[in-house]
Chain A
Amino acid sequence: MRRIKRSVVSTKSANSYHRFKQINGIHPLQSEVPGSFVKYQARKRHGGKVAFFNFNLAREVGLLNLDHQDQINSDLEKEILNTFSLLIINEYDIINQTPIEKEDILPNLYMATRYLQLQHPGKKGRTSGDGRSIWNGSFTGTDGKIYDVSSCGTGATCLSPATHLEKRFFKSGDPTISYGCGYSEVDEGLGTLFFSEVLHKNNIATERVLAIIEFPGNIAINVRIHQNLIRPSHLFAHLKQGNHGILKSLVDYYINRQENNGVWKNIPKGEMKYEYFLKKQCEIFAQMAAKFEEEYIFCWLDWDGDNILMDGGIIDYGSIRQFGLFHHEYRFDDVSRFSTNIIEQKQKAKYIVQNFIQAVDFIKTGKKKSISFFNNHLELKEFERYFEDYKTKHFIYRLGLNKVQQRYVQLYCKKDISEFQKVFSIFERSKSKRGPLKVADGINWSAIFCMRDVLRELPQLFLARNKFINDEEFIEIIRSSYATKNDLKLTPIRRAQIKKFQGLYMKLADSVAKGLGTIRCRVLLEISMRSSVINKYDRVTGDSITKLVGRLMNSRPKLNSSELYSLLDDFVEYQNLDPDTKLKEKRPVKITDSKQLRPFKGLLRIVRDCREGI
């Protein structure tokens, strides 16, 4: 049952790892958009070891040959450390003349990019950006696409909040200050690794971890890759400051990269390309917001456009969560303020689009108008349309219908699906009568119903009984551990909602059956098979990732990087909730490999125990 591992021994030619050489600090931004970053010299950092390397990702992007085995050999380890084990020579080092061996100084300069961060004083992005990261550069993969590479934990830059709050430069690794010290930790890397790989597997755009390099004291450099690491906040810093030239260059740079990577096609020439850019960004952010809401992904979006990539990908997993239930009242407590909640994400995404509108207008006219001038811009209406459209599409997908059935419902069952969404939402958003409560890292007002459970079980019960289940049974299936007896009272209104829920569900199944020339039970069977994957009993949550990382940290002395990779690979496969890829896998009928569950037992139990959490 275990996925077949690559057993082919790598043909270890002298240039097997030649693409690593492209990652040397040099990046197109340096020549195309000067002013968008701070340059740093860097030096080799000794004493590191490769705690993790993402073989799948490295093969996908062409850093490794396709036949490379999932093992680190001495040549590969050397290449990884030579490329990524580095520390910037920062302002503190220069002022204090930190002694550095000449042969350790790397030949090229590395970028700490500037971007807007609302927690920085000034709120215009003059002093904010990569506070403990640098961009290692970019490389062209075997697929012809250009990938950006950056590392977190490479030393304290002048763009960290601490530098500006305390008005001094920090020594990298200064133990008197945590976030501003420029270092990162192994558990941060592992958390990002597991979360991002699971989300990537489930078609959520995200940065991905290529490697974790470990140093004594739980210190780490976490290397990440994405096709385009530009964030809205990179643009917005220069928009707020009124730097027309840099803003235009950044947008041009971004458009070019999207075109070169084949993400965007048939881009018009001249000024029209900015309209194209705007439409694309509007669509991307509307879809992203809808998908996050439907998948219960909490991502702290705000007007600075910091915690997200321009292409809607997730970056920086510090506050990312995936809820088991629709905990729409959860807010992260960031000491000085609370975050947005999952429902407010949409408005924040829309406001980011409004900033794009302002940016494009500024680029075209050379005059920066007030953001409120664009309050009624047509593109914001488009945002609403895209959002609703995508939310409905994704909702239909969640039900478990196959592609043809999904299309049929979108086209011919608009009214019923809209009504069903409404009644579904009533249950999904039901909260406990206990009210708001403090949780480990914020506040929450618990949701009480697990919609994933009812979506998984209802088609099976309808298929078996060919009639509605009773109200008590419905509540029994849908109730979560957060629900109190008081929360579950079957009032006349709730009874009516249950009836409506089941009625519309059955009506949709019947419409699909009739419209596609089949029978109800075949539709329900298809739904039940797909829904058992999409709405799997134990999907990861933010809580489960936190606990899972804790467990891995405890067992890490026994786990080498290859074993960690193997564990991740299997875990991610287990969390593949895409029936279109999952159900196509061919596996042997005879299952005798009893070792398959053992490495997971602990991890699976954590995921199971935390499945309703935040």
Chain B
Amino acid sequence: MRLIFYSGGEVKQNKNLDDVLISKIANPTPQMTYIPYAHYESEIHFKEFVEQYQIYGIEKFIYFPVDVPYDQILLREVLKSDIIHLSGGNTFYFLASLKKHKLMPLLKTFVKRGGILSGLSAGAIIMTPSIDTAAYPEFDCDENYEGLKNFSSFNLVNFHFYPHYKNSKRYDKALKHFSKKIDAPLYACPDGAGIFLDDQQLRFIGQTACFYQGKKFILNK
């Protein structure tokens, strides 16, 4: 299973993560699929996504919004991709759309078959057991305007992910508190940092904070 968690930030900040991601592709003519969190204005972000990875020589990209009806034909091509990328955005809306269209089992199968699933911010949170961190802390969280009640998500890993982390007392206090409520580590990455998981092997790219049972540890200093 190969997963990559991007926190966020500008393209140049994420170069190290991109390098790792691309190095894992064996196919000489790889195909990447971009799944935006919402159809709304996502064409712009798709173009940015293409530009981000075109420099690695990738030529085949699929744009696949999931909150509008789609046909099975394109979905079949999506699932044949080498990499599927889940974009940033509103985590609740994104998860609700994936669940509504029953895409989660298909994406899990994609990962089990060797496909690389990458996610940025909301897209990264969605790969974890639940999207609780999207609702936390109160001063910096997504709005659950979909009224989503079940926060359980892909559960592809046994840790939680917190993107756009800022190394401050305010965040630390909130995340320590949060970590007491869960029985798995919470990895918090600032923009430009992230995590790569390759067959149970975790690799932290950029400085990452780990919050576990009310304590904070700095990884990859």
Q: Which residues of A contact B (CB under 8 A)?
A: 1, 457, 460-461, 463-465, 469, 473, 476-477, 519, 521-522, 525, 528-529, 532-533, 536-538, 573-574, 579, 582-583, 585, 587, 589-592, 594-598, 600, 604, 608
Contact = CB atoms under 8 A, between A and B. Distances in A.
A594 B143 contact: yes
A464 B142 contact: no
Interface residues of B, number: 45
Nearest to A573: B41
A477 B46 contact: no
Contacts of B156: none
Contact of A464 (B44, B62, B71, B121): B62
Contact of A529 (B63, B121, B164): B63
Contacts of B92: 594
Interface of B: 8-11, 31, 37-41, 43-48, 50, 59-63, 65, 68-69, 71-74, 77, 80, 87-90, 92-93, 120-122, 142-143, 145, 164, 191
Contacts of A476: 71-73
Contact of A582 (B43, B71, B89): B43
B145 A600 contact: no
Contact of B50 (A473, A525, A536): A525
A461 B73 contact: yes
Nearest to A594: B143
Contacts, number: 116
Nearest to B191: A590
A497 to B, nearest CB: 19
A236 to B, nearest CB: 43
Contacts of A1: 40-41, 89
A590 B40 contact: no
A359 to B, nearest CB: 45
Contacts of B77: 460-461, 464-465
A532 B43 contact: yes
5 contacts: A1-B89, A525-B61, A529-B50, A589-B11, A590-B121
A591 B121 contact: yes
A595 B41 CA distance: 14
Given A469-B73, A590-B191, A529 B40 contact: no
Contacts of A529: 43, 46-47, 50, 63
Contact of B74 (A457, A519, A604): A457
B159 to A, nearest CB: 21
B9 A590 contact: yes
A463 B61 CA distance: 8
Given A529-B43, A608-B68, A589 B38 contact: no
A600 B43 contact: no
B44 A585 contact: yes
A462 B77 CA distance: 10
A597 B90 contact: yes
Q: Which of B10, B37, B47 has the most CB of A within 10 A?
A: B47
Q: Which of B8, B41, B87, B88 has the most CB of A within 10 A?
A: B41
A564 B8 CA distance: 33
Given A538-B68, A583-B44, A591-B90, 8 more contacts: A460-B62, A463-B59, A464-B62, A521-B59, A582-B43, A587-B44, A587-B48, A608-B68
A537 B65 CA distance: 10
A533 B43 contact: yes
A539 to B, nearest CB: 12
A469 B185 CA distance: 46
A581 to B, nearest CB: 11
Given A463-B60, A529-B50, A594-B93, A583 B31 contact: no
Contacts of B87: 591
Contacts of B73: 457, 461, 469, 473, 476-477
B44 to A, nearest CB: 5
